[in-house]
């Protein structure tokens, strides 16, 4: 079952079970996917977005909500921060399991070996390999500096 089908099935279940908060988050996910579909068609890609693209969309949505929740907490708006955290939980249902720190370190070492990277100039190749294999499973904002340290 594709990721798009899983999201649609979850949306229908949320409607049936009258889960308003889950339903609103799933609708936001669907809207983001449809926006990306429309953009892809505009670029001549009639097939629409792939599962990898959907994972990237979901990853961005989680990151946006984490930043919002942090800002709400700092501003003393705990009820809004909790809402953001609830949305993150719904979105993460569709993301693959996040890699542990040891697994991330191992993945970086494998990517460096696979690409034959030897200097900081090869960082793009390493990051491209990691993004190809581990989209949605690691925070690339945190991984970038780790790769830089290994190559630098």
Q: What is the pLDDT along the chain (152 residues), one digit of tens a residue?
A: 788 999 999 999 999 999 999 999 999 999 999 999 898 888 887 777 888 888 889 988 998 999 999 999 999 999 999 999 999 999 989 988 888 888 888 999 888 888 888 888 888 888 988 888 887 788 788 888 888 888 87
For position 14, what pLDDT does the model report?
95
Task: Give the count of domains, the chain.
Answer: 2
Claim: this prediction has a pTM higher than 0.85: no
Closest CA to 84 of 63, 58, 61, 66: 66
User: Any idea what the CATH number is for the domain that residue 111 is in?
Assistant: 1.10.10.410
Same domain for 118 and 66 = no
Phi, psi at 75, each rounded to 5°: -90, 0
Same domain for 112 and 45 = no
Q: Which long-range contacts (CB under 8 A, 24 or more apart) does 3-12 make?
A: 3/51, 3/54, 3/55, 3/94, 4/33, 4/51, 4/54, 6/94, 7/33, 7/54, 7/94, 10/93, 10/94
For position 99, what pLDDT does the model report?
84
In the DSSP assignment, the letter for residue 120 is G
For position 71, what pLDDT does the model report?
95
Same domain for 77 and 24 = yes
Same domain for 112 and 60 = no
Same domain for 87 and 43 = yes
The answer for residues whose C-beta is within 8 angstroms of residue 25's C-beta and 6 or more apart is 86, 87, 90, 91
The answer for residues whose C-beta is within 8 angstroms of residue 140's C-beta and 6 or more apart is 127, 130, 131
Domain boundary among 43, 59, 92: 92
User: Any idea what the CATH number is for the domain that residue 30 is in?
Assistant: 1.10.1510.10
Neighbours of 61 (CB within 10 A): 21
For position 44, what pLDDT does the model report?
80
Same domain for 65 and 27 = yes
Same domain for 47 and 87 = yes
Domain extent at residue 126? 101-151
Same domain for 86 and 118 = no
For position 151, what pLDDT does the model report?
82
């Amino acid at each position: 079952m594709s990721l798009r089908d899983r999201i649609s099935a979850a949306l229908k279940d949320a409607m049936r079970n009258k889960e308003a908060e889950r339903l609103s988050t799933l609708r936001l996910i669907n809207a983001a996917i449809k926006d990306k579909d429309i953009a892809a068609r505009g670029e001549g890609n009639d097939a629409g977005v792939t599962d990898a693209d959907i994972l990237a969309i979901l990853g961005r949505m989680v990151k946006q909500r984490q930043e919002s929740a942090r800002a709400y907490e700092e501003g003393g708006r705990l009820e809004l921060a909790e809402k953001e955290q609830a949305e993150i939980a719904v979105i993460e249902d569709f993301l693959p399991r996040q890699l542990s720190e040891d697994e991330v370190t191992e993945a970086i070492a494998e990517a460096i070996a696979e690409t034959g990277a030897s200097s900081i100039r090869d960082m793009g190749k390493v990051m491209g390999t990691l993004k190809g294999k581990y989209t949605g499973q690691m925070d690339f904002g945190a991984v970038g500096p780790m790769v830089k340290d290994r190559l630098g």
